[in-house]
Amino acid sequence: MKQVGIFGGTFDPIHFGHLALAREAKIEGELEAVWFMPAVSPPHKQGKQITPYEDRLKMTELAIQDQDGFLSSDFERRREGEAYTYRILQDLREYYPQAEFSFILGADSLWEIEDWKHPEKILSMARIIAAPREYTKKHNTLEEQAGYLTKKYSTKGILLLHAREIPISSSMIREMLQRGEDAGGYLPQKVEAYIHSKKLYR
């Protein structure tokens, strides 16, 4: 079966940290492809101002142009129903029965996954690929958390990436742009040009 990594997120905006994580997940997870899937209306960001979906999708498309094995997917927009991770994975498995899915996320999400809707379904439908990420709340080690989840649930496996954490965040970039600062060092050139042409984050 084709091994596909699903990389969901707000991507507001997408940056070099996202691309580095996807490359590492593709290599260590032995994935044939990584599908970048911008969230249409993230449940955890209800009430917060986010950039229109079409702009975030376009920035994602621009960021991964000419990147082998990377695909920008509007699957979440095309499907019906709530945008919870377990529902999206259910639909992906139905639409693409020839694919085996891995779900790429940051370490903070691995610590919080039991707060998500139906974590048992998520862990049973897709292998989890987790990347190092700063987490300020009290927690066990990432290895201990992976072991705990594997013991408690029926999982497709949890892969912890060896990549170092890249200190870039979309919120940091938005704040820089709002202050009129140059954020080009953190963004693909085509994404930076699109942001300026659309006057985003001002």
pLDDT value for 51: 95
Tokens (6 digits) for 181: 């600062």
CB 200 within 8 A of CB 13: yes
What is the per-residue pLDDT across 106-123, written as a single tens digit (0 to 9) for each? 888 999 999 999 999 999
Tokens (6 digits) for 202: 């001002």
Q: Say if residue 4's pLDDT is above 70.
A: yes
The larger pLDDT score, comparing residue 11 to residue 46, is at 11
What is the per-residue pLDDT across 140-181, written as a single tens digit (0 to 9) for each? 888 999 999 999 999 999 999 988 777 899 999 999 999 999
Cα–Cα dist 146/97, whole Å: 27
Cα–Cα dist 141/202, whole Å: 39
Nearest-CA neighbor of 12 among 51, 39, 40, 48? Answer: 51
Confidence at 81, pLDDT banded by 50, 70, 90:
confident
Q: Say if residue 45's pLDDT is above 90.
A: no
Q: Quick one: what percent of the chain has pLDDT higher than 90?
A: 79
| Average pLDDT value for the chain | 92
Pairing of strands 33-38, 127-131: unpaired
Tokens (6 digits) for 109: 């999400």
Q: Give the residue-averaged pLDDT of 14-43.
A: 93
Asked whether the bond before 43 is cis by omega within 30 degrees of 0, the reply is no
pLDDT value for 132: 82
Q: What is the length of the chain?
A: 202
8-18: b (≥16 Cβ within 10 Å) or e: bbbbbbbbbbb
DSSP of 146-185: HHHHHHHS--S-EEE--PPPP---HHHHHHHHHTT---GG
Instruction: Say which residue the tokens 């997870």 belong to.
Output: 29
pLDDT value for 133: 74
pLDDT value for 83: 84
pLDDT value for 103: 98
DSSP state of 81: S
Helix/strand number for the chain, H first, E second? 9, 6
pLDDT value for 48: 72
Q: Give the residue-averaged pLDDT of 93-101.
A: 96
pTM of structure: 0.92
pLDDT value for 29: 97
**4 bridge partner residues:** 33, 101
Cα–Cα dist 71/61, whole Å: 8
